Structure 1
Amino acid sequence: MKLKLISCFLFLFIQITAFADVNIIKGKVIDAKTNETLIGAVVSIPDLHVSVATNANGEFTFRSVPATGKYVMQVQYLSYKTITRVVDFYSATALVFAMETSVVEAREVVITGTPITSSSKNNSTSASVVSKEQLQGASTNLIDALARQVPGLGQISTGQGISKPVIRGLSYNRVVTLSDGVKQQGQQFGDEHGIEIDQFQAERVEVLRGAASLMYGSDALGGVINVIDPPSPPEGNIKGEILSNYSTNSGLINTSLMLTGNESGFVWRGRGSYQNAHSFNTPAGYYANSGFNQTDFNGMLGVNKSWGYSHLNFSYFKSNIGFFDAEPGDNLYSNSTSRTLDYPKQDIRHYKLAFNNNFIMGGSSLKLDIGFQKNQRRELADSPVPSLFFDLNTYSLDAKYYTHEVNGWHPVIGFSASLGHSVNKGVELLVPAYDEYSTGAFGYVKKTWDQNTFSAGLRIDYIQNKGKQQNVDGTQVFSGFDNKFSNLSGAIGYTHAFSDALNFKANAGTAFRAPNPAELGSNGVHEGTSRYEIGNGELAPERSYQADATLEYGSGFVTGSFGIYENYIHNYIYASNTNNEQIIVTDEATGLPRGYDAYRYGQVNASLYGFEGNLTLHPVSFLHFENTFSYTRAQNRSFDRPLPLIPAGVLHNTLRFEPKVKGIRDFYLSAGIDNFFKQTRVDATFETPADAYTLLNAGIGATFKIGAQALKVYVSGNNLTNKRYYDALSRLRPGRYSQEDPTFGVYNPGRNITFGFYLPFGTNK
């Protein structure tokens, strides 16, 4: 059967290649007022993963692109308004893009993580795009970098290096992280480890807020984080970059080197990144054994031709993180800045292969993404031999067929399937060995007329979780389970452009999430969280009914957006400790009994609603006052109390000054104030309130010419007043760290100054 499938796939590949027509798209980019050509403007076609820069005459050329089909093209140039345009390659002649000057360059951006690639104006999904430049700076991981930029996005953190995304109050398996077109699978149920993706590999990141089960199935209840790699350079070119920064708080060193090339349509890319930090410093001292180091290698080999593209992406991610196994009364802080990690510590390794394809067939196309991931999570208690060791293999397939557009209607049909196989290789047990199967299919249609866009879709899913029974020394640890879930979900969306400056979008739909194997079958000590977790094999799927609406405005002096959302979730799943229940476990190292708080998984009905937005004022071209804000209110309706792990309201304010300085490009000075409001709406059975706090930040940066290359340097400072505070979503804050002593907690990091540079280089043929 495997040989037959491979033969059919190769036959399809040969047929598409043989009959594909070769096409060349040419054009020019000019200033709309003066008609002067713009040199170095970046023109890209996201669905083909290609981009070019205009030459000395303002001209660009795409070679070996499809001869037919409609594609979104995007044009970007510093100090000009971004242009997005749908171009029919069949009738395209010499294209001319006339750009208008603007203090906001990237308001109208392209969104690719939705069923059909389109500009943000024509996309009903609430989305934010974070650029490569915004991902650089004082952050310890990808989610940490995003949480500083995107309204409605927060993080559940465990010191430095470990962050879980939270979108509109939903986290863990309710948020999908997508990289190389494949859903990241790395035991997202765990509190104490992050997302296994190098933050420097992304050219940009799309954050989609709101339920996205229509396209991504289970786990996309809260939203999607779509990590997009750099496009291939023009034919005959080699490009690269080197970046590095150093942060004073924990001695964090970040370094990354990338090279990419294109030779007659054969494309390649390679990147290596390394991070190393000692324990982070709080206003009370260095939190003991909280250092980490991280290594990542990733790359791509592929072909870009007139029939589309085929890219093989691969990556290896390794992270080592220290933990401090403290008891109430212990001293949490030390003066040590050693980079050697003590026990206990964590060793996480993630291997990934993703085969991404886009086959062009006239006015139709087939996108096919095939993935394999191996995630190994080792918890090392007191020796190199893992006490707890999860080994998870995941195989996945995702296919989407885009048919011809008919009378403005653009249909898409899709199919996805995955198989997860997890085994336990350690002596400690928490989650049973399991197999997880899922299949799903959806249909989607979109129509644009005048200034309106309407979209609708329907999806059906089937998921099976099979947990293995296991006995140890004649005692049953896991009873095993075999749960089957099916689901029908749907969504509708609408956008309307009142003018070039004012835009409205709205969504409504139902989504779902199947319980994961940890929620169904846990029975053991979760070392990273210092608690005993007990699953529930009778859990039902979560069912969400959600709606949101957003108003966007952007014109010269003022740009911004304001959105509201509401989400009702039936059978919301979470683990809680009630009545101070404890379970006594014998410590294998000491032979002594130890008590752990017992957390049992259960279900309630819940509601979440809130608002988010941003507002930027541009009184003059060189001055920007940027503000983002978000607030979520979440209620456990079954027991009439707040839901746990909900972020506090936050308001980020930044004043950015960008004067013109002779001989220097992109010079800026910035000052910012982050206001985090008090979070008193907590689940009092195992949470304590978090006080409000305010952080002061600042930065300075510029770009210098070194021959033909540009060197960007910057300095940024966070928490400049060395404020003592506990973030509401920090797992180390009082009440979360220990139920026995609710005052027992660890402050968030204190003052941090980061020095960094970014150097792009390459040819421009």
Structure 2
Amino acid sequence: MKLNFKDGILMLVCYFLLFSATAATISGRVTDSKTNQPIAGATISLLQLRSSTSSDQQGHYAFKSLPSSGRYLVEVRFIGYQSLIKTIELTSEDVTVDFALNESIIETNEVVVTGTLVTSQSRRNSTSVSVISKDELQGGATNLIDALARQVPGLSQITTGQGISKPVIRGLGYNRVVTVNDGVKQMGQQWGDEHGIEIDQNQPDRVEVLRGAASLMYGSDAIGGVINILEPSVPTAGQIKGELLSSYSTNNGLTNNSLMLTGNENGFVWRGRGSYQNAHAYNTPAGRYINSGFNNTSFSGMLGLNKQWGYSHLNFSYLKNNIGFYDAEPGDPLYNESKSRTLDFPKQDIRHYKLALNNNFVIGSGNLKLDLGYQKNQRRELEEATPSLFFDLNTYSLDAKYYLAERNGWQHVVGLSASQEHSINKGVEFLIPAYDQIELGAFGYAKKSWGENTFNMGLRYDFVRTKGKQLFVDDEEQFPGFKNKFSNISGALGYTHSFSEDFNFKANAGSAFRAPNPAELGSNGVHEGTYRYEIGNENLKAERSFQADATLEFGHSIVTGSIGIYENYIHNFIYASAKKGDTKTVVDEDNNEQTYDVYRYGQVNANLFGFEGSLNFHPLNWVHLDNTFTYTHAQNKTFDRPLALIPAGVLHNTLRLEPKINGLHAFYVSVGLDNYFKQNRIDETFETAADSYSLINAGIGATLHLGKQQVKVYATASNLTNKRYYDALSRLRPGRLSQEDPAYGVYNMGRNITFGVYLPLTIKK
């Protein structure tokens, strides 16, 4: 009998539904280690199975309908106690595990990390990872990357006003940083200076930021790092939970509202969220930057099954983002006092549609993780009602990993990935050619744990084929068309050692790979958002990175911290640069002439090194002084000059007080000083230095109990002194947009105070 593809899929589904193993249950009790009293409201999470629950008034918890075999990390967290992580091996139908938590004056850094190949405790993970919770993401940020850049050492942002932020990790951005959401790489127009990521900032329950090359798992483009976005885990059977959050910011009138509900009915799980943001022009110490408002609307949801054979979740999302721009000529006024929320032309209209099917199937003594994705990214650049530039990108992706059963401390993973991109131009102007791109990858990975040591190693092969399409405009060739193929073998080694509970060491070494993107290969046109004419180079070679890093984490209750160093040598580093006098005059549809600086894509050898450190003091259980420092040194080795667009060194200092106040829970007040150092290591051919500056920030918040309903209220303030400053990575600072007019520049945001409220909802227990 001959079976087609459809029949095979049907048989596979029947296998998991009818012939899977019996279900297992994990249950137990959460107590105080000293008093043995139950702890109610502790969060117990099985992140590998995307499930969580809370302990009841007697401290009891339970997970039902779990796979009957496998090893899982259980994470238990409760405010005021040290988090506890245990490995549980399911070998029978029912397992009882009790947790006794120790009081702690600090939040422990020991967390479960899921964004690496093997889900593990952070101290057993050689990758440098920062985990940011939902509470830490709330504040006066205007987008998700803006929120992360305030929290994560080594993470910066390239900004275009308030509505657009691109992540930069250890000096690398654009197509060198991968953003993962719903288990699928976010695919938009990562190559563009003024193209942000199309993700609702209210969506994450927590975010993992992986610093350093992660190409072994994520393939080409993860040469700098990864931002892994995790949505809330599904509740246990019979529960319906949710959240409502709302905030208002004084500087730009930003209103941010979001409602989420999620439930579990005997293994049928679901989630739905709707969010809306709206901001008028933001205020600088010199006035409101004209037409700098934005608004976005997003809807997302999930339907799925959590059963003994694993889980299968279908995620879907839609985001529409409108962002205003100001097309100023040199000498035009940059500021006025308008608070209109109506966006004028020019502006961006961005739509992002996404479907992601996330599966985790138990097969024998191992398990298969299979993530399938489809995304449509539509980006319209509007100078009037008809789009000038209009990119329409469709991406199909597959990522499969098979985890073999752990034996003698060894964990093995094999996997493959594939994606297909199809991009067409629907506008009347053209910057990059329409293109098709195929990416294929395969890898093997092994991790060994013994005593207080772990060792991991991996090998990956990648193949990328890109085809740019020829285009004639008014009988003139705009794009000649090109065909390129790139392939590479990457490797990685990692090691961790715990000297004691107070000292932990981790190190990595390896190589990574990035294929040139279609914009670098084939651009030939005016990039309006950057005010320049860009010319690609179809003869570019793939980037090859050789990097190493090491981190020492230390501390107990009074002093904690870390110090990390890294070096990243990149052969054939790709970037666009301009030369004085290299200009091109373009005639528009109305026969108006406009002269632009020409930026051409080329390659050099580059070396980036630096360090990240933190030193935190906790002299009393309610007094916390946190300090972090980040510095990146980047050199163009070919021409012996600094690389462009490198963040300045920064020192963050925050004093946080958490006194006990009757009637208030988790009360805090904080004050912070952010010191940004002068960035005079610049590419002087087209970049200007950025002066140093310091910003004063503050915050206050508490959780109230209105009957059984918890309500978190907070207020945050940034740039309290209304300081005039230009950030080194702001694209609107002097000398960034126009080489011909170095006086052109827009200050960063002035004083901003945000008031917010957060309500966790329990609809059905």
Superposition TM-score tier, normalisation by shorter sequence: over 0.9
Counterpart among 127, 130, 133 of residue 128 in structure 1: 130
Structure 2 contact 129–208 (Cα < 8 Å) conserved: yes
Matched residue, 1:500: 501
Offset from partner CA, 1:724-743 (integer Å, 9 cap, x none): 00000000000102211112
- Is the partner of 1:632 in helix, strand or coil? strand
C-alpha separation between the residues in 1 aligned to 2:5 and 2:72? 30
C-alpha separation between the residues in 2 aligned to 1:185 and 1:441? 20
Matched residue, 2:524: 523
Matched residue, 1:534: 535
Matched residue, 1:139: 141
- Unmatched segments (≥5 aa) in structure 1: none
C-alpha separation between the residues in 1 aligned to 2:733 and 2:107? 40
* TM superposition shift of 1:329: 0.7
C-alpha separation between the residues in 1 aligned to 2:701 and 2:616? 20
Matched residue, 1:720: 720
The letter for the 2-side match of 1:591 is: N
* TM superposition shift of 1:19: 2.3
Matched residue, 1:4: 4
Matched residue, 1:691: 691
Q: Percent identity?
A: 65
Matched residue, 1:66: 67
* TM superposition shift of 1:706: 1.5
* TM superposition shift of 1:106: 3.6
Matched residue, 2:102: 100
Structure 1 contact 77–105 (Cα < 8 Å) conserved: no
C-alpha separation between the residues in 2 aligned to 1:671 and 1:511? 40
The letter for the 1-side match of 2:275 is: S
Offset from partner CA, 1:180-203 (integer Å, 9 cap, x none): 000000010011121000111101
Structure 1 contact 70–363 (Cα < 8 Å) conserved: no
Matched residue, 1:437: 438
Offset from partner CA, 1:433-479 (integer Å, 9 cap, x none): 00000000000000100000000000001000000001112110000
Q: In the alignment, does 2:490 pair up with 1:484?
A: no
Deviates more, 1:361-370 or 1:647-656: 361-370
C-alpha separation between the residues in 1 aligned to 2:95 and 2:296? 49
Structure 2 contact 25–95 (Cα < 8 Å) conserved: no
C-alpha separation between the residues in 1 aligned to 2:762 and 2:683? 54
The letter for the 2-side match of 1:413 is: V
- For residues 657-668 of structure 1, the aligned pairs below 5 Å read 657-668=657-668
C-alpha separation between the residues in 2 aligned to 1:197 and 1:561? 31
- For residues 605-620 of structure 1, the aligned pairs below 5 Å read 605-620=605-620
Structure 1 contact 412–445 (Cα < 8 Å) conserved: yes
Matched residue, 1:754: 754
The letter for the 1-side match of 2:30 is: V
Matched residue, 2:554: 553
C-alpha separation between the residues in 1 aligned to 2:615 and 2:542? 38
Structure 1 contact 435–467 (Cα < 8 Å) conserved: yes
Offset from partner CA, 1:663-688 (integer Å, 9 cap, x none): 11011110000000000000001100
The letter for the 1-side match of 2:745 is: G
* TM superposition shift of 1:705: 0.7
Q: In the alignment, does 2:749 pair up with 1:739?
A: no
Matched residue, 1:514: 515
Structure 2 contact 106–621 (Cα < 8 Å) conserved: no
C-alpha separation between the residues in 1 aligned to 2:84 and 2:717? 34
Counterpart among 249, 259, 262 of residue 260 in structure 1: 262
C-alpha separation between the residues in 1 aligned to 2:327 and 2:128? 41
- For residues 460-479 of structure 1, the aligned pairs below 5 Å read 460-479=461-480
* TM superposition shift of 1:655: 0.3
* TM superposition shift of 1:21: 1.4
The letter for the 1-side match of 2:137 is: L
C-alpha separation between the residues in 2 aligned to 1:639 and 1:485? 26
C-alpha separation between the residues in 2 aligned to 1:447 and 1:626? 34
C-alpha separation between the residues in 1 aligned to 2:619 and 2:5? 61
C-alpha separation between the residues in 2 aligned to 1:293 and 1:763? 30
C-alpha separation between the residues in 2 aligned to 1:764 and 1:206? 30
* TM superposition shift of 1:3: 8.7
* TM superposition shift of 1:4: 2.9
Counterpart among 299, 322, 332 of residue 297 in structure 1: 299
* TM superposition shift of 1:23: 1.0
Structure 1 contact 81–107 (Cα < 8 Å) conserved: no
Root-mean-square deviation over aligned CA pairs: 1.1
- For residues 347-426 of structure 1, the aligned pairs below 5 Å read 347-381=349-383, 383-426=384-427
The letter for the 2-side match of 1:746 is: V
Q: In the alignment, does 2:86 pair up with 1:80?
A: no
- Is the partner of 2:13 in helix, strand or coil? helix
* TM superposition shift of 1:764: 5.8
* TM superposition shift of 1:763: 4.0
The letter for the 2-side match of 1:158 is: T
Matched residue, 2:592: 592
The alignment of Structure 1 onto Structure 2 pairs a total of residues equal to 762
Deviates more, 1:88-97 or 1:42-51: 88-97
C-alpha separation between the residues in 1 aligned to 2:400 and 2:658? 45
C-alpha separation between the residues in 1 aligned to 2:10 and 2:509? 41
Matched residue, 1:274: 276
Offset from partner CA, 1:357-399 (integer Å, 9 cap, x none): 0001242000000000000000001x22111100000000000
- Unmatched segments (≥5 aa) in structure 2: none
The letter for the 1-side match of 2:684 is: A
Offset from partner CA, 1:288-337 (integer Å, 9 cap, x none): 00000011100100010111100000000110000001111111111111
- Is the partner of 1:547 in helix, strand or coil? strand
The letter for the 1-side match of 2:695 is: L
C-alpha separation between the residues in 1 aligned to 2:561 and 2:166? 27
- Is the partner of 1:492 in helix, strand or coil? strand
Matched residue, 2:190: 188
- Is the partner of 1:9 in helix, strand or coil? helix
Offset from partner CA, 1:487-514 (integer Å, 9 cap, x none): 0000000000000111000000000100
* TM superposition shift of 1:627: 1.2
Deviates more, 1:596-605 or 1:732-741: 732-741
Matched residue, 1:656: 656
The letter for the 1-side match of 2:759 is: L
Structure 2 contact 212–223 (Cα < 8 Å) conserved: yes
Matched residue, 1:711: 711
C-alpha separation between the residues in 2 aligned to 1:630 and 1:578? 31
C-alpha separation between the residues in 2 aligned to 1:6 and 1:88? 35
- Is the partner of 1:93 in helix, strand or coil? strand
Matched residue, 2:584: 583
Structure 1 contact 156–731 (Cα < 8 Å) conserved: yes
The letter for the 1-side match of 2:41 is: G
Q: In the alignment, does 2:87 pair up with 1:109?
A: no
* TM superposition shift of 1:408: 1.3
* TM superposition shift of 1:5: 2.9
* TM superposition shift of 1:99: 1.0
- For residues 324-363 of structure 1, the aligned pairs below 5 Å read 324-363=326-365
C-alpha separation between the residues in 1 aligned to 2:542 and 2:6? 35
Offset from partner CA, 1:596-638 (integer Å, 9 cap, x none): 1100000000000000022211000001101111000000000
Structure 1 contact 76–106 (Cα < 8 Å) conserved: no
Deviates more, 1:24-33 or 1:118-127: 24-33
* TM superposition shift of 1:407: 1.6
Structure 2 contact 434–468 (Cα < 8 Å) conserved: yes
* TM superposition shift of 1:71: 0.6
C-alpha separation between the residues in 2 aligned to 1:260 and 1:556? 36
Structure 1 contact 79–102 (Cα < 8 Å) conserved: yes
Matched residue, 2:249: 247
C-alpha separation between the residues in 1 aligned to 2:707 and 2:4? 56
Matched residue, 1:206: 208
C-alpha separation between the residues in 1 aligned to 2:727 and 2:627? 20
The letter for the 1-side match of 2:583 is: Q
Structure 1 contact 624–656 (Cα < 8 Å) conserved: yes
* TM superposition shift of 1:560: 1.2
C-alpha separation between the residues in 1 aligned to 2:461 and 2:737? 41
* TM superposition shift of 1:6: 3.5
The letter for the 2-side match of 1:628 is: T
TM-score, normalized by length of structure 2? 0.99
Structure 1 contact 503–552 (Cα < 8 Å) conserved: yes
C-alpha separation between the residues in 2 aligned to 1:707 and 1:312? 36
Offset from partner CA, 1:157-185 (integer Å, 9 cap, x none): 00101000000000000000000000000
TM-aligned CA distance change 1:209 to 1:3, over 3 Å: farther
